[in-house]
Amino acid sequence: MTRFLLARLVQSVAVLVVMSFVIYGLIGLMPGDPIDLMINADPKMTSEDATRLRALYGLDKPIIERYGNWLKAALTADLGYSRLHAKPVLEVLGPALGNTIVLLGLSFLLSLAIGLPAGIAAALRPYSRSDYAINFLAFAGISVPAFWLALLLIIVFAVFLGILPASGTGTIGAAGFWESAKYVVLPVANLTIASAGGHTRYMRAAMIETLRQDYIRTARAKGASQTRVVFRHALRNAMIPVVTVVALNFGYLFSGALITETIFAYPGMGKLIFDAIMGNDFNLALVALLFATVLTLAGNLLADLTYAWLDPRISYQ
Amino acid sequence: MAEAYAIQPGNPDVVLEVRNLDVVFTSDTGTVKAVDGVSFDLSPGQTLGLVGESGCGKSVTALSLLDLVPLPGRVAAGEILLDGTDLIGLPDAALQRVRGVRLSMIFQEPMTSLNPVISVGRQVAETLEIHQLASKSEAWTSAITMLAKVGIPDAAERAGSYPHQMSGGMRQRVMIAMALICRPGVLIADEPTTALDVTIQAQILDLMLDIQRELGTAILFISHDLAVISEIADDVLVMYAGRIVEQAPATSLFAAPLHPYTRGLIETLPTAGPRQDRLPAIPGTVPDLSALPPGCRFSDRCALADDQCRTAEPPLEFLGSGRRVACFKATP
Amino acid sequence: MTDGPLLEGRDLVKHFPVRHAGSFGTSHGTVHAVDSVNFHVNRGETLALVGESGCGKTTLAQTAALLHRPTSGSVHFKGQDVSGLGRHAIKSVRRRIQMIFQDPYGSLNPRLPVGDIIAEPLVIHKIGDKAERRRRVARLAESVGLRPPDMVRYPHQFSGGQRQRIAIARAIALEPALVIADEPVSALDVSIQSQVINLLKDLQDNFGLTYLFVSHDLAVVRQFADRVAVMYLGTIVEEAATDELFAAPRHPYTRALIASAPVVGKGKRRPGNVLQGDVPSPLQPPPGCRFHTRCPMAEDICRKSAPALESNEYGAGHRAACHFKDGDQP
């Protein structure tokens, strides 16, 4: 197991290095650079000034060399300055990462807490009225575009009912838990609805398939009750395929966060990345994207470990 | 005909009585009777073989005894008397108290019939736990004893193994341990050796006979393989297209089959004798249950069939000396 | 044309590398599916390969059908070494060697009508024009007992036995010299098994076919094969003419196999006297004689050296791989 974890760590570092190069390259290939933005913003700037600035920022060098320099600095924990925020990248990133983890974590747990029981309930009485109802809701959740749902939530809860804020996060020093928590409700709801539908469908399919297995018949033949059959014999087996999809879904959730955060003006990683790319903030976009990669890798590792815990046939020896 | 067969009710020598059992499957295209008027008795220590080809209803009969027929199938009529109590119509909770304790079942596929994520010891012990016959630790100890009894080497150690770490033969031993740990009066064995190699099949058949001798279990042994049936059964039921066509003690059945279908089955078996140029064969195929021929169900494949056979269904008649046959042409 | 055997395997070895579970920290192993096997099939005869699951009979048959490249050793067809042929050369040999499988449903394309399924090999090998192919398909269908209206129906509309007839018609469409049949009747009901066996016998008589017949069912083999090779854990342990093998089996495994097979009419079995234990893993076959872990006669020599497949004083063509000559000391 230790060997497996170590190997996975090495793998992850390798993935990160490759990703950093790819992202660096992609950003470098984007038309325009920060100096172009400066020229647009300041018509008095001469082309000599631009060349001087490019040399100052090292933008005149070939991309490989620039990447090498960045990597060298990054290894000494110097991730550079954010152009937009005029602060070290890590200082900008910290709070955003915290906000995103709250948003993602809550929606992830909520969507599991809703999706898995709903899926099991549907599977126990397939093609019954309750199954159709659950399926209808699940499909609605899957099919509704996140941005549209976000607007709908804002209109209903912020505009008509006026009980929840449309955007932002709590004011610093605001009194009470609810004062800061209420800003999280709509973004979390938006993300949860989108993924709970998927989880319901996967859980339902896996549970139906599992309940068809011979060993379920064996359990019934021994006199096991329906509850025992479902929770002791079927659930663990049904979870095995679900874990895989849920883990893959984690990356999808992250990209959903980008849209959700932008619409709700929620200051998380998604919004940060979006703003950084739109504002040609190289350093920030690069590091923020790498953090996104780390989160996805961590999700996958977690899935692998869950897998081994669920299924004795899998060993990482 | 059921009347003709009925033995005195409450016979202490009978542990399981099945009377006029009908199992139907309903679909959009109509209803088919997979099991049609099946009756038989099972006594303690007896092995009753139930033989027939695929689709004849033998497995459905077995599953219906435990109310495990998969949807859309259901028991439509009949009685299943276990120690005199009718199981049909019992509420779920009452049925669950019967399953595994008084009536157990083992299945064809030892590979898929065990839960892959639970250790085999736990699965065997669970039968006791479900029925609250032992504490968790007592159940574990009993499970190890039972695993040793069914011939699992190093049972204490192997009890912690998972099914994928065992061979097919070993898994079937585990299934038998699981089914018999509560010492049920009746064991239903649905093709228990079909998926196994011959040398392993021989081991499992021996094991079943040994355990039966020790526990006095009545066994309903279902198989498509006449040779296996002839080696394990005391009495044999032959099913064809949902009905019992013949019943006899094993020795008389194989020595002198009365129903043309039974005779055909036995003749088509590749024999141990010298090579024949052509093997005897039964012409045609088993009829579709939704399109049965009128009259006797075997009439379209039977060389002896005449007009009577093609118009009227022969009743299963009691002939004495434990024999029943459903054929107008059978001459005892 | 040479006078030798139609098909011959010389020192055939087929190993499969396997990886054990896990995306990391995998361990590698080798499945010794077939190890140093010599066998031959004469023209017009039926050689049966029998043995229990995992004994390598299917792998051996598939290697003989050129579906696998042997790890070492060679396959000779009509005296020519065909194991190392290139893709084009192999195609013309494959035409002469056809296979029939256990599960006729899995090997028939469910979306093609039966007529097209039978015609497919003719199309692949560009034989005849459309009209000619239709005539040949009609003849083939008739020879396996299918009716003309069956040609436009689909595989799922047929019973198991009928499907196996379709598979057989397809297999003989190219007029092969050799048909390799892997458990062709195992999935069929007993009353249908004999119909298909009889059909295979008829085709052998009518078309002069040679069969390599893979089966676990001794009773079927006894009725169908001219010669039998018994396999255990990747090796042939005994080989003889069918009647001789069943009348006087020499190898303790063959004896156990024959004794274990249930037979109608012997009455209820008396427990005891059966082969104990399981077949060892082909990942780590035991040293010496591979059967020694289950053999009631095994002695030290059996654990150390592997016996060769030798004829000794047995009848002609009867060979067994055992240190004990018919119960004597080694």
Residues of B in contact with C246 (CB under 8 A): 272
Alpha carbon C286 to chain centroid, angstroms: 24
Q: What is the mean pLDDT of residues C43-58?
A: 90
Percentage of chain A modeled with pLDDT above 90: 13
Kindly provide the ipTM of the predicted complex, given to two decimals.
0.86
pLDDT at B4: 39
Q: What is the mean pLDDT of chain B?
A: 86
Q: What is the mean pLDDT of residues C49-62?
A: 89
Residue B178 touches partner A, C-beta closer than 8 Å? yes
pLDDT at C20: 56
Q: Does residue C263 come out as left (phi exceeding 0), alpha (psi in the -120 to 50 range) or beta?
A: beta
Residue A217 touches partner B, C-beta closer than 8 Å? yes
Residue B64 touches partner A, C-beta closer than 8 Å? no
Residue C227 φ then ψ, to 5°: -130, 155
Among A48-57, A161-170, B177-186, the range with the most confident prediction by mean pLDDT is B177-186
**With 60 as the cut, is the pLDDT of residue B287 above it?**
yes
Percentage of chain C modeled with pLDDT above 90: 18
If pLDDT is split at 50, 70 and 90, which confidence band does A32 have?
Answer: low
pLDDT at B7: 44
* CA distance to partner chain A, nearest, from residue C218 (Å): 30
Alpha carbon A22 to chain centroid, angstroms: 20
Residues of A in contact with C21 (CB under 8 A): 313-315
Percentage of chain B modeled with pLDDT above 90: 26
Partner chains of B (3+ C-beta pairs under 8 Å): A, C
Model confidence pLDDT, tens digit, residues C82-112: 887 888 888 888 888 998 888 777 788 888 8
In chain A, whose CA is at the least distance from the CA of C25? Answer: A317
Alpha carbon C63 to chain centroid, angstroms: 10
If pLDDT is split at 50, 70 and 90, which confidence band does A170 have?
Answer: low
Q: What is the mean pLDDT of chain A?
A: 82
pLDDT at C199: 87
- Site from A215, A243, A311 to mutate, B interface, most B CB atoms within 10 angstroms: A215
Q: What is the mean pLDDT of residues B292-307?
A: 86
* CA distance to partner chain B, nearest, from residue A310 (Å): 7
**With 60 as the cut, is the pLDDT of residue C80 above it?**
yes
**With 80 as the cut, is the pLDDT of residue A171 above it?**
no
Model confidence pLDDT, tens digit, residues A257-293: 778 888 888 888 888 888 888 877 777 888 888 888 8
**With 60 as the cut, is the pLDDT of residue B26 above it?**
yes
Residues of A in contact with C27 (CB under 8 A): 317
In chain B, whose CA is at the least distance from the CA of C243? Answer: B274
Structural domain boundaries of chain C?
7-225, 248-330
Q: Are C184 and C100 in contact (CB under 8 A)?
A: yes
CB contact under 8 A, B130 and A228: yes
pLDDT at B273: 65
Burial A25-40 (b: 16+ CB within 10 A, else e): eebbeeeebbbeeebe
**With 90 as the cut, is the pLDDT of residue B47 above it?**
yes
DSSP state of A230: I
Partner chains of A (3+ C-beta pairs under 8 Å): B, C
Q: What is the mean pLDDT of residues B194-223?
A: 88
Q: What is the mean pLDDT of residues A58-71?
A: 79
pLDDT at A117: 93
Residue A7 touches partner C, C-beta closer than 8 Å? yes
Interface size, chain A vs chain C, as Cβ–Cβ contacts under 8 Å? 22
Model confidence pLDDT, tens digit, residues A240-257: 889 888 887 777 777 777
Q: Are C279 and C55 in contact (CB under 8 A)?
A: yes
Q: Are C321 and C308 in contact (CB under 8 A)?
A: yes
pTM for this entry: 0.82
Of residues A249, A290, A250, A256, the one with CA closest to residue A271: A256
Question: What is the Cα–Cα distance from C156 to C153, expressed in whole angstroms?
Answer: 9
pLDDT at A208: 92
CB contact under 8 A, A220 and B130: no
Which tokens hold the place of A172? 């610093």
CATH superfamily of A90-310: MetI-like (1.10.3720.10)
How many angstroms separate the first and last alpha carbons of chain C? 43
Out of C191, C216, C222, name the one closest to residue B53 (CB).
C191
Question: What is the Cα–Cα distance from A191 to A253, expressed in whole angstroms?
Answer: 7
Structural domain boundaries of chain A?
90-310
**With 50 as the cut, is the pLDDT of residue B91 above it?**
yes
pLDDT at B10: 46
Q: Are C251 and C244 in contact (CB under 8 A)?
A: no
Which tokens hold the place of B236? 């044999």
Which tokens hold the place of A65? 């060399």
Out of B54, B272, B279, name the one closest to residue C189 (CB).
B54
CB contact under 8 A, A4 and C21: no
Lowest mean pLDDT among A11-20, A104-113, A267-276: A267-276
**With 90 as the cut, is the pLDDT of residue C229 above it?**
yes
pLDDT at B229: 92
Of residues A59, C191, A66, the one with CA closest to residue B265: C191
Residue A314 touches partner C, C-beta closer than 8 Å? yes
Residue A315 touches partner B, C-beta closer than 8 Å? no
If pLDDT is split at 50, 70 and 90, which confidence band does B5 have?
Answer: very low
Among A46-50, B145-149, B166-170, C274-278, the range with the most confident prediction by mean pLDDT is B145-149
- Site from C19, C24, C27 to mutate, A interface, most A CB atoms within 10 angstroms: C24
Count of residues making up chain A = 317
Radius of gyration of chain B (CA): 21
- Can you name the CATH fold of C7-225? Rossmann fold (3.40.50)
Q: Which residue has the tokens 């469409």?
A: C173
Residues of C in contact with A312 (CB under 8 A): none
pLDDT at B42: 92
Model confidence pLDDT, tens digit, residues C107-116: 888 888 999 9
pLDDT at A174: 55
**With 90 as the cut, is the pLDDT of residue C227 above it?**
yes
DSSP state of C307: P
CB contact under 8 A, A7 and C22: no
* CA distance to partner chain B, nearest, from residue A291 (Å): 36
Q: What is the mean pLDDT of residues B160-176?
A: 87
Q: Which residue has the tokens 């920030």?
A: A284
Residue C222 touches partner B, C-beta closer than 8 Å? yes
Residues of B in contact with A306 (CB under 8 A): none
Interface size, chain A vs chain B, as Cβ–Cβ contacts under 8 Å? 76
Question: What is the Cα–Cα distance from C96 to C176, expressed in whole angstroms?
Answer: 4
Question: What is the Cα–Cα distance from C259 to C310, expressed in whole angstroms?
Answer: 23
